[in-house]
Amino acid sequence: MNTNGGGHANIGFWLAKVLQGQGHQVTLNVVGEQDDKKMSKPPFSYFSELTAMGVRTTWANPGDLSSKVAGENFDVVVDNNGKDLNSVGPVADFAVACGASQFFFVSSAGMYKPTNTPPHLEGDAVKESAGHNVVENMLSTKPFKYSSFRPQYFTGYGNNKDCEEWFFDRLVRGRPVPVPGSGDQLSVVAHAEDVATMMAAAVGNDAAGGQIFNAVTNRAVTLNGMAEICAKACGVEPKIVNYDVTNLPDGVEVKKAFPFRPIHFYSYPAKALEVLDWKPKHDLATDMAERFAFYKASGRADKDMQFETDDKILNHVR
């Protein structure tokens, strides 16, 4: 069950590709309608790659799954769409009805409570009222073996949510890159394929039952470091300007001015490394070089852009 928007859709795309490549029979269901204008964007516009491999693609809302694939059995059901009981509940019920022995839920590392001792590890305190947490608690009561995967930031072929592009937009135009705080805050950016291979390693793996996995890579990156890695991919020297998030000009919100959280937001894949014997194959510098090549080929580097919020921050700093 794949979401029809946001960066998370790329997890489903890569998971279908990885599983089919390993010899599984995969049905990838996308929320909504096939003729939705969202389907003209990545990763949906790349679905021909999946169908050429033998992946079946369908479109249906969570409550319509039972009629869309009526009478079919599935060993594993994955929900890469829901954030609350209303959206995940029907998929869980479908999994029970179709005889699934495993259920994977793509949750979120965003529900961890801030910590003074990063990284976040599986079992650390979470916001109990968070929708993802409520869903995880519900899934633990079902008659299948459920595993939860908590991604953070990620990149990779098929991504449609600006992250590295935010840096590229400024770097190729010779503009300063405004980074909140000292820039030493730790974060983590994984490749969607690494998230997918982690999930694939849990298929048919009894040890994965009842486990929570941080679906991230095993190396952190600082916020200034992200700007520097992106700059190297662009072949330029970055002009990083750090600023105080407690002293912003009127009307500016840091969550809209920068693509990362301005605090330490770093989780570590301890469980996957141990329980699933998983290792990531991607590294951030290579990923950013590939993403910049795609960025250039897309023509985005040549588009006219306005940086009003940046200018407000930079003028305020000056």
Which residues are CB-contacts of 256 (< 8 A; sequence separation ≥ 6)? 309
Residues present in the chain in total: 318
Q: With 80 as the cut, is the pLDDT of residue 180 above it?
A: yes
Q: Provide DSSP, 262-300.
A: SS---B--HHHHHHS-------HHHHHHHHHHHHHHHTG
Residue 69: which pLDDT band, with cuts at 50, 70 and 90?
A: confident
Query: Residue 76: pLDDT band by 50, 70, 90 thresholds?
Result: very high
How does pLDDT run across 100-140, given as a tens digit for each residue?
A: 999 999 999 999 999 999 999 999 999 999 999 999 999 99
Q: What percent of the chain has pLDDT over 90?
A: 96
| Mean pLDDT, rounded, for 218-238 | 98
Write the pLDDT tens digit of every residue in 194-203.
999 999 999 9
Domains and CATH numbers, the chain: 9-317 (3.40.50.720)
> For residue 110, what pLDDT is reported?
95
Q: Looking at the predicted structure, is the pLDDT value of residue 6 above 80?
A: no
- The model's confidence at residue 306, banded by pLDDT at 50, 70 and 90, is very high
β pairing state of 186-187 and 221-222? antiparallel
175 CB-side CA count, 13 A? 20
Judged against a pLDDT cut of 80, whether residue 193 lies above it is answered with: yes
pLDDT per residue over 247-290, tens digit each? Answer: 999 999 999 999 999 999 999 999 999 999 999 999 999 999 99
The pLDDT value given to residue 278: 98
Tell which wins on pLDDT, 258 or 7. Answer: 258
